[in-house]
Structure 1
Amino acid sequence: MTKSRRASEVGLHFLTTAAQVRKAVDEHMALEGVSLARTKVLQVLARLGPAKQTQLAEELGMAARSITQAVEAMERDGLVRRSSDADDRRVKVVTLTEEGGRALAAGEAAGDEILRSIFQRLDADQLAALDEILAVVRP
């Protein structure tokens, strides 16, 4: 087997494993009432403060339509509040609510908990090696 073929197989194994870890994290976080996707939006708002929807979309690498739908649903659930921009009434500014702050804390705690349970299977040397490998293969 060529090195290039082996690299492709390992890459596919990595993608499969990453998808499984992501699914486990999302499911565990959902038990606490907030998905991984929603937690990411809340994290950006916690970091930036009130932000235009276009800025949120850019920060998250999402299409404007997708962020609009996500924010509308989060607003219905009381996690964020939308208001018109003072300079351009057509532009929507999204703000984290107190409920959103609580949901963010719960989501992050649940995410940390499941990631610790998955990665504690590795010893310290394995964790360090994995961290180094991921740094090398990151695009």
Structure 2
Amino acid sequence: MNQADENLLRHLSVLYQRMRRHMDQLLAGQGASLARVKLLMYIAGECGAARAADIADLFGQAPRTVTEALDALERDGMIQRTPDPDDRRVKRLAITEAGAAAVAAAEPIRRKFVEDFFRVLDDEERAQFDGMLVKLIGALDQP
């Protein structure tokens, strides 16, 4: 790997870590965290069809880690587990009213962060950056 590639990788890593940390700090004011909000948003988007195994796979987490996070969300009344009608070993996850309220409270914070963050780029730069990211994601999808 050449130095330019090393620099790109390092900068991408620093950007990702700083974005996460900054968003976590903003959400902490609401008593939330980025990890909890991401989980709740995913579960809400799946309309009661989410499974812990799907979450572990999507987020690249160990099943035990996901189970612990889901246990905490359930204990806090943010999600509900129900039996899967097709597989009694599986529990389906659904967001509760409290979980939806937590997502709704976090959404203005997330939107403002995104707007402020990308404000440093003009429309053309945003389009170019988006194109580059899509291209890199596509490269990871190829064997």
The two structures share one fold, judged by TM-score above 0.5: yes
Sort the TM-score into its range (normalised by shorter chain).
0.7 to 0.9
Deviation per residue, 1:39-98 (Å, 9 max, x gap) = 221122112122332233233332211111001111121111223445555533322100
Q: Identify the match of residue 46 of structure 1 among 44, 47, 62.
A: 44
Alignment of 1:1-139 (within 5 A): 4-50=2-48, 51-86=50-85, 89-138=88-137, 139=140
TM-score, length-scaled by structure 2? 0.81
- Give the ranges of 4+ consecutive aligned residues of structure 1 lying more than 6 Å apart after TM superposition: none
Over the residues paired in the alignment, what is the CA RMSD in angstroms? 2.1
Gaps spanning 5+ residues in structure 1: where? none
Identity %: 33
Letter in 2 for 1:59: L
TM-score, length-scaled by structure 1? 0.83
User: CA–CA distance in 1 between the matches of 2:6 and 2:107?
Assistant: 33
Aligned residues, how many?
Answer: 137
**Higher RCO, 1 or 2 (CA under 8 Å, sep at least 6)?**
1
Q: Is the Cα contact below 8 Å between 1:25 and 1:115 reproduced in 2? A: no
Gaps spanning 5+ residues in structure 2: where? none
